[in-house]
Amino acid sequence: MRHFHPKRSELAPGPSRRGLIVGAAAAIGLAGCGEGTGGQATQGPAPVSGSLDWALAGSWRIDPGRDRFRHPRETLAFFEVQPTQTIVEIWPGRGWWTSILGPWATAHRGRVVAAHFDPEGANEAQLRTLEEFRARFLANPALFGAVSQAAFGRRTGPIADRASADRVMVMRNLHNFMADGWVEKAFTDFHAVLKPGGLLGIEQHRAPDGGVQDLLARTGYVQEAYVRMLAEGVGFEFIARSDLNANPRDDRDHPFGVWTLPPVSRTSPLGQPPDERFDRRPFDEIGESDRMTLLFRKPL
- Residue 62 inside a domain? The answer is yes
Distances (CA, A) of 294 to 73, 80, 225: 15, 12, 11
Q: Supply the pLDDT for residue 45.
A: 85
- Residue 74 inside a domain? The answer is yes
Task: Give Cα 248 distance to the centre of its chain.
Answer: 21
- Residue 117 inside a domain? The answer is yes
Q: What domain range is 93 assigned to?
A: 2-251
- Residue 126 inside a domain? The answer is yes
- Residue 300 inside a domain? The answer is no
Q: DSSP assignment, residue 208? A: P
Q: Supply the pLDDT for residue 27.
A: 36
Residues in contact with 273: Cβ distance below 8 Å, sequence separation at least 6, in sequence order: none
Mean pLDDT per 10-residue segment, the chain (300 residues): 45 42 40 41 79 97 97 98 98 98 98 97 96 97 97 97 98 98 98 98 96 96 98 98 98 97 96 96 98 98
- Residue 262 inside a domain? The answer is no
Q: Supply the pLDDT for residue 44.
A: 74
| pTM score, whole prediction | 0.86
pLDDT tens for 58-94 read: 999 999 999 999 999 999 999 999 999 999 999 999 9
Q: Supply the pLDDT for residue 25.
A: 45
- Residue 256 inside a domain? The answer is no
Q: Supply the pLDDT for residue 283.
A: 98
Q: Supply the pLDDT for residue 149.
A: 97
Q: DSSP assignment, residue 272? A: S
Q: How large is the C-alpha radius of gyration of the chain?
A: 19
- What is the total count of domains within the chain? 1
Q: Supply the pLDDT for residue 34.
A: 32
- Residue 274 inside a domain? The answer is no
CATH of the domain at 191: 3.40.50.150
* Burial class of residue 57 (count of CB atoms within 10 Å of its CB; 0-12, 13-18, 19+): middle
